[in-house]
Amino acid sequence: VTRADHPKACDPRWLQEIALGLGRSAAAEPSPRRALERALAETDEDDLILATGSLFLVADIREAWLQINGLPLPPRDPEGSY
C-alpha cells in the first residue's frame, strides 16, 4: 500500500495495519514510485500488478511507470486552469 501525492491521502501504514488485522499480508511504501518499483521487483514478467485507489494515486502510479520505462510523460494542465 502507498499514498498519493495529495494532502488528504492517508498514511499507508494505517492501511497496512488494517490489512494485517484482517489476516492479510501487506507492505507499506511511502511513495507510489517506490511501491511500483517494489511490486515490479517482487513479481515475474507475466504477473499482473493492479493499482487501485483514487485518481490521484493511479495518476502517480502511471507517471512512475512511464518514468521507469523511459517513456514521455503526458502533458499537464497549466497551473490555475482547474
For the stretch 5-18, pLDDT in tens is 899 999 999 999 99
- pLDDT of 64 > 80? The answer is yes
How large is the average pLDDT for residues 23-50? 96
Residues in Cβ contact with 29 at an 8 Å cutoff, skipping those fewer than 6 apart: 1, 2, 12, 35, 38
